[in-house]
Amino acid sequence: MKPPAVCLLSGGLDSAVCLAWARREGFACYALSFDYGQRHRIELEAAARVAAALGAERHMVARIGLDAFGGSALTAAMPVPKGRSGEEMSTGIPVTYVPARNTIFLSNALAWAEVLESADLVIGVNALDYSGYPDCRPEYIAAFEHMANLATRAGVEGRTRVRIHAPLLHLTKAEIVRLGAALGVPFGLTHSCYDPAPDGRPCGVCDACLLRRKGFEEAGIVDR
């Protein structure tokens, strides 16, 4: 029987590549998405499509009240930056940073993993393009893993060791696109835009759209 892994799945490109990666690594994948009041809520439909296409055992959407805290352009009434250069994107912490988001996501994944008796969590964080996000850095992931091993039943009983897999951590966007292509990720089902039109079409000019386009261009692969 395949060991279970909880895979965070946003509906975007990176987490779709992670899910395909986890399947190839031999995990039975439990995909976890969050409805947290994000303005690009349409990504949850993409997540459901991706989970089905990539053969997840289950797909759960957990509702969490992250928007109650505010403080981010992704959940509050603040404008999403548009048309920024690569240099601008890599300077400082962007307003699209959601306070403690990855910590809350991973904590929920840890809860589900404990119930599933899984020791493996998979997250699509990336330290290159998202260098401005504190919770996308390798030292953060290592600290979460250490904490997780003290937080849970399994850790106390010494039965198993929780591992946080971040297979994209050190890849460029072009490398992520190439890995996704090699793993057969259906790119056309994924959604990246922070500020989509009501019908779901990407804006084309937010950081997420710009990074995505650049990644496909550099990889020499068509985004479909």
Under the binding rule (CB under 8 A), the answer on residue 153 touching a second copy is yes
Under the binding rule (CB under 8 A), the answer on residue 150 touching a second copy is yes
Closest by CA to 30, choosing from 59, 2, 53, is 59
Under the binding rule (CB under 8 A), the answer on residue 160 touching a second copy is no
Output the smallest distance, CB 218 to a second copy, in A. 27
Under the binding rule (CB under 8 A), the answer on residue 38 touching a second copy is no
Here the tokens at position 194 are 């922070």
In order, the DSSP letters of 110-178 are HHHHHHHT--EEE----TTTTTT-GGGSHHHHHHHHHHHHHHSHHHHHTS---EEE-TTTT--HHHHHH
- Residues 5, 112: Cα–Cα separation, whole Å: 10
Output the smallest distance, CB 138 to a second copy, in A. 10
- Residues 69, 114: Cα–Cα separation, whole Å: 27
Output the smallest distance, CB 17 to a second copy, in A. 23
From residue 83 to residue 102, the character string flagging contacts with a second copy as x (rule: CB under 8 A) and all else as - is ----------x---xxxxxx
Under the binding rule (CB under 8 A), the answer on residue 63 touching a second copy is yes
Q: Binding residues for a second copy, per CB under 8 A?
A: 60, 62-66, 68-71, 93, 97-104, 107-108, 110-112, 114-115, 134-135, 137, 139-140, 143-144, 146-148, 150-153, 155-157
